[in-house]
Structure 1
Amino acid sequence: MTRTNPDSCPGVLRLHQAADGPLARIRLPGGRLEPGQLQVLAEAAAELGDGNIELTSRGNVQLRQVPDAAALSERLAGAGLLPSDTHERVRNIVASPLSGRIGGWADVHALVPPLDTGLRTAPRLAELPGRVLFTLDDGRGDISGLGGDIGVHATGAAEFALVLAGGDSGIRVSAADAVQVMLAAAHAFLDLGSGQWRLREVDDGVPRVIDVLGLSPGPERLEFGAAHDIPIGWLEQDNGLVSLGAAVRLGSMPARIAEFIAAIERPIFITPWRSLVITDLEEWPAEQVVRVLAPMGLIFDANSPWLQVSACAGRPGCAKALTDVRADAAAAVESGRVLPPTDQPAAESNTSGRATGPGPTIELRTADEVAVADRQHWSGCERRCGRPRGQVTDIVATENGYRIG
């Protein structure tokens, strides 16, 4: 498959002209933010954007309605959030958020800095499409199921499976070699591609990359599935400290809440499930954090209906959207129309994120008639942007109401 259009994935230096104004996407390798960096983002959102920080499905963040790209880039560069003008859009690295603190075979966060450095110091890798995703899974299976392009999955304390196009390649590499093998695979993708945005789009891409690497796959293959167990609430770290997992309503965090989180002065990890983890807390401060931030809107309850709902940008942010799906989705939660989970399977997405069976389509409903159980994604049009992987019920806006199925 060869793309007819160049990759237009936004960054900081190349904004996306959304319907509601310029949108900036800031890459956070491994999802990590230092408190001072989050404070800078909060101030930028309040003073240069629409007042919110959007969390993305790749553990990055976005600011909307940013008219002054130069002012934003200056602030981000000063905070260490824009270390490269040439490679800023290719730093798409997601890692198991709890790695090194709770469970897992290996601390994959130790691989993030050398992988990021390797990407930024290889001039040719600036040519990677902004859609290419690197995944680092510590063996618990939360990241490898995201359908990344190039990654590793821990099979032991010092051994990793090489993941290509979202699947186990059969190759096993040592912890010492993991970063160099991933970088070599990125070079191979560029060598073999002809305009494709993702490795799975390259004809016979995985075996051809393996051939370029000169490594021999073994017989074992791990199976990866979409993870639904989002780290939310009180999380006991292996060292006796506490992490707090918090969801953000529809992935949009007000700058004021971000400022409060920054003031805690602990490392923060943005997850690919549009949530965050505040780490390395003593028990008493952790209790105070929950008492202050829960009333402000952060969600520490793993059973909250907000965790069942996601939505695309909708109106006014997207010109293709037929309605304000975020407002309709929020109204469904607040009015109790997001029903408790059932055992009934919903539709399951394929590798492209589009829906496949088995969920049947039912009749159209008005916004205030929609009442759906289980995980659900509200879309402003048939493209269904932002749809999470795994079993999800689609609620799609049409000219005559919402189609559910």
Structure 2
Amino acid sequence: MLAAMPDSAPSPLSAGGASPRDGAARATPRAGGDACPGTLRLHRADDGALARVRIPGGVLSADRAEALLTAAARFGDGELHLTSRGNVQLRGLGTQCGGELAGLLTDAGLLPSAAHERARNIVASPLAGLDDSPSIRSWLTELDRLVCGSPAAAALSGRFLFALDDGRGDVDALGADVTLIAEGPAGAGAALLRIGAADEVFRVPVAEAPRAALRAAEEFLRAARDSGAWRVKDLPDDVRARLIGTIGAASGPSVPRPRPRTATPPAPGLVGTAAITADVPLGRLTPTQWQLLTDTARRYGGELRLTPWRGIVIPGPVPRPEAADALRTLSAAGLITAPDSPWTGVGACIGHPGCAKSLSDVRAEAGAAVGVPGRLPVYWSGCERRCGHPHGEWIDVVVTPDGHRISHVRGERRDPPTTVGNDSARLAAAVAEARA
């Protein structure tokens, strides 16, 4: 499911560790530095300071999940918020808690490198190795190790994204800067390397794939030196073309493979006997819900996988009778355990009162408009920034001074919008019609 990404780019509250001050949109240098939050660089929001804890691949042991719950209770409002990159945000933090928070996360193994904590942005196919797809765990482990060991990679923006796709195209569709795609069965086949949204990919040896991904990121930093771009898509067209050519010259042959237009998240429910999946309404987890998910994970393999769609996969094996009981328990706790839930596909930014820039409490509005599940996901934004919005095809609801503007987004295309006044019944009907 969908939840809030950063509220804004407000004043950073440094808690040790500097951040790179690069940045530019296309050929125009950005006015400020990269204000993307981390655990050593907290951000001020209307509901307190905010920390974002990077969880590479979304993979959490039950022990580390417990540590995050402890951090939320000790320093914040107790809740845990999932992001569109499978990370965790802690909200309502005191502005002076940075050092203690960093110490707790370091002790738990969640902060292996202070210099690289915001560069560890890696999403991975959450069902990899659980169905008929290959496991990509070795790629994830090795890429995170390489990133943390590269002095150059510490300069990557907190927005720069790696994706590890098991071949099904789910995270390949998320618009990462560097994507590795498994081709063929586990332990065989090839690895494909994509740079930005390029329609071609390069074949690289499977064993060398993580190192090829790191080299591509380091090459991007060299290419971005003059433009100050934070991401591949921010590079001027000619610079981006040269970057892809340089990486291609050091890689294997190129093959055409357009990026998928729309990501397909795991359906809530069961993955055979291999896993339990549950989505989180608006990505917001209470302490009770988080503890329940952690306890459920301990009952089986002891692992949770946070998805880029604000969901959680609990790998098994899970015997069928036990799985049915577990799903009933998770559903009773308010989690989404079936595709026909009214909450399926519904997301929103943090909105008012958590964000000063929001014009409305969009989470409450999204909840009030929940009805029959729609064909398309819908995302509610309290302002034009649309923090945390999805990729691909979706219904965009943005609060404006004149009402709620509703438009149908298809990748880079956007249909002419419709504006609905602040009437909850009319708004819910308009959103339902657009999603259908």
TM-score in same-fold range (> 0.5): yes
Aligned twin of 2:125: 96
Tell me the SS of whatever aligns to 1:24: strand
1:155 aligns with 2:186: no
Which of 5, 23, 40 aligns to 1:13? It is: 40
The residue identity in structure 1 corresponding to 2:399 is: A
* Structure 2 equivalent of residue 225 of structure 1: 261
Counterpart amino acid of residue 133 in structure 1? L
Does 2:81 align with 1:54? yes
> What residue number does 1:30 align with?
57
CA distance in 2, matches of 1:94, 1:171: 20
Residue 115, structure 1, aligned to residue 115, structure 2: no
* Cα displacement (A) at 1:226: 1.6
Deviations 1:287-325 (A, max 9, x none): 332222210111101121211211011011111101111
Question: Tell me, what secondary structure is at the counterpart of 2:176?
Answer: coil
Conserved? CA contact 2:195–2:201, under 8 Å: no
Judge conservation of contact 1:13–1:73 (CA < 8 Å) in 2: yes
What is the alpha-carbon distance in structure 2 between the residues aligned to residue 218 and residue 134 of structure 1? Answer: 19
1:292 equivalent to 2:324? Answer: no
Work out whether 1:84 is the aligned partner of 2:113: yes
Is 1:200 matched with 2:233?
A: yes
Q: Which residue in 1 is equivalent to 2:245?
A: 211
What are the residue-to-residue correspondences of 1:301-316 with 2, within 5 Å?
A: 301-316=338-353
**RMSD, aligned CA:** 1.6
Q: Return the alpha-carbon distance in structure 2 between the equivalents of residues 4 and 216 of structure 1.
A: 38
Matched, 1:126 2:150: no
Structure 1's unaligned 5+ residue stretches are 343-373
Task: Give the aligned residue type for 2:103.
Answer: E
In the aligned structure 1, how far is the partner of 2:44 from the partner of 2:196?
A: 30
The answer on whether the counterparts of 2:344 and 2:373 sit within 8 Å (CA) in structure 1 is no
Give matches, 1:5-404, under 5 Å: 5-67=32-94, 68-104=97-133, 106-157=134-185, 158-194=189-225, 195-203=228-236, 204-213=238-247, 214=249, 215=251, 217-236=253-272, 241-264=273-296, 265=298, 266-283=302-319, 284-333=321-370, 336=371, 339-341=372-374, 374-404=376-406
Q: Structure 1 residue 233: deviation in Å? A: 0.6
Alpha-carbon deviation of 1:34?
A: 0.3
Aligned to 1:356: none
Amino acid at match of 1:398: T
Write the distance in 2 (CA, Å) between the matches of 1:102 and 1:219.
27
Q: Does the 8 Å CA contact 2:267/2:338 hold for their aligned counterparts?
A: no
- Answer yes or no: is the 8 Å Cα contact 1:150–1:166 preserved in 2: no
CA contact (8 A) 2:130 2:274 kept: no
- The Cα of 1:114 is off from its aligned counterpart by 0.6
8 Å CA contact 1:43–1:255 kept in 2: the answer is no
Q: Which amino acid aligns with 1:260?
A: L
- Distance in 2, matches of 1:232 and 1:218, equals 36
In 1, the alpha carbon distance for the partners of 2:76 and 2:210 equals 36
Amino acid at match of 2:243: V
Give me the whole-angstrom Cα distance separating, in 2, the residues matched to 1:167 and 1:274.
27
Give the Å deviation of 1:118. Answer: 0.3
Query: After alignment, is 70-79 or 126-135 more displaced?
Result: 70-79
Segments of structure 2 that go 5 or more residues without pairing to the other structure are 1-25, 408-436
Secondary structure, counterpart of 2:193 in structure 1: strand
Q: Distance in 2 between matches of 1:150 and 1:66?
A: 32
1:25–1:62: 8 Å Cα contact kept in structure 2?
Answer: yes
What do the CA deviations read for 1:345-392 (whole angstroms, capped 9, x no partner)? Answer: xxxxxxxxxxxxxxxxxxxxxxxxxxxxx4211111122222111221
Structure 1 CA distance for aligned equivalents of residues 68 and 259 of structure 2:
37
CA distance in 1, matches of 2:179, 2:239: 15
**Following TM superposition, by how much is the alpha carbon of 1:168 offset from its aligned partner in structure 2, in angstroms?**
4.3
Structure 2 letter corresponding to 1:90: A
Give the % identical residues: 42
* Structure possessing the higher relative contact order (Cα contacts under 8 Å, 6 or more residues apart): 2
Is residue 111–residue 117 contact of structure 2 (8 Å, CA) maintained in 1?
yes
Residue by residue over 1:252-305, the C-alpha shift from the partner in whole angstroms, topping out at 9 and shown as x without a partner, is 111111112212312100000011101114314323322222101111011212
